[in-house]
Amino acid sequence: MSDAIIKLHDFGVAYDQKTVLSGVNTSIRSGRITAIIGPSGCGKSTMLKAMNRMLETQKDAAVFGSVLLNGVDIHTMEAEQLRRKVGMVFQTPTPFPMSVYKNMTYAPQYYGVTGKQELSRIVRENLEVTGLWEEVKDDLNKSALKLSGGQQQRLCIARALTAQPEVLLLDEPCSALDVKSTQVIEELLLKLKETYTIVIVTHNLFQARRIADDCIFMLNGELWEQNTTEELFANPQKKETRDYLQGVYA
Ligand SMILES: Nc1ncnc2c1ncn2[C@@H]1O[C@H](COP(=O)(O)OP(=O)(O)OP(=O)(O)O)[C@@H](O)[C@H]1O
Ligand SMILES: [Mg+2]
């Protein structure tokens, strides 16, 4: 069994005093892909955002309980340090409106890397990992906004990796992409889990099955059931989980 890298303990969230997530106790295992699945509005994005304190940026959100990263309560950490260790990629690709090269050097420069050679190495290595290097190497000064949607999403993943995170959080990263780009991202995530722990929210049950080692099913703001993906799909313990997996609710 891999060690837990993230733990949520009696965790909950309220927006405007309305509870949307409660009583969540879970462990995310290191070096694996965990998928969070469940119907729309059940709290998947909220839980993901809690893992790197993104909810703090929303004034109306209040959090309860604790989130531990490697045993340390993330609320005792500097937000910047935390977000360096726990990177996030969103549903819609969000490249900065600048060149591919600048997207890739933004974080390293912010964290103090100045050498041109070192920066070029970081750019190249992370673009290679995400399979983008061959596609963009001849024009790194091209605006990132001129890449295709799939390329933009891989750039966002590559950019997240430049901060050398331990955990990568992805909120429906493929929902704006076509089948081919989705396949490329899935293959990429399978490769990345050798180095990073990955937590992915997905509406696509096939995707969860294809790539996730562990699976969390959420319902009505609660963590309903969690298991290895294989076991959860083959042998769901609760009726609601079974219904969801059979497509009873959207
Ligand atoms: N900023 C906010 N203010 C008030 N309520 C919110 C806010 N963000 C989310 N909610 C509510 O919290 C609940 C959980 O939302 P969340 O976005 O986590 O769901 P989700 O499972 O990610 O849904 P989806 O699959 O549609 O993305 C929903 O009822 C939603 O309406
Ligand atoms: Mg969501």
Residues 117-130 have pLDDT tens digits of 999 999 999 999 99
Instruction: Name the residue with the closest Cα to ligand 1, atom 17.
Output: 45
> Using CB atoms within 10 A of its CB, is residue 164 exposed (0-12), middle (13-18) or buried (19+)?
middle
What's domain 4-245's superfamily in CATH? Answer: P-loop containing nucleotide triphosphate hydrolases (3.40.50.300)
pTM of the predicted model over 0.85: yes
Task: Check residue 37 and give left, alpha or beta (phi > 0: left; psi -120 to 50: alpha).
Answer: beta
Q: How remote is the CA of residue 91 from the centroid of ligand 1, in Å? A: 14
Nearest-atom index, ligand 1, CA of 91:
27
Mutation pick for ligand 1 pocket among 13, 15, 174 (CB with most ligand atoms within 8 Å):
15
- Ligand 1 pocket residue status of 59, Cβ below 6 Å: no
Q: At 25, which amino acid appears?
A: N
Instruction: Name the residue with the closest Cα to ligand 1, atom 16.
Output: 43
Contact residues for 84 (Cβ-Cβ < 8 A; gap 6+): 107, 111, 163, 164, 165
pLDDT tens-digit series, residues 42-74: 999 999 999 999 998 888 999 999 999 999 999
Q: Residue 230: is its pLDDT beyond 80? A: yes
- Ligand 1 pocket residue status of 90, Cβ below 6 Å: no
Q: What does the DSSP assignment read for 47-108?
A: HHHHTTTGGGGSTTEEEEEEEEETTEEGGGS-HHHHHHHEEEE-SS----SSBHHHHHHHHH
Helices (H), the chain: 44-50, 79-85, 100-110, 116-129, 133-136, 149-161, 179-192, 205-211, 229-234, 239-245
Mean pLDDT of 77-91: 94
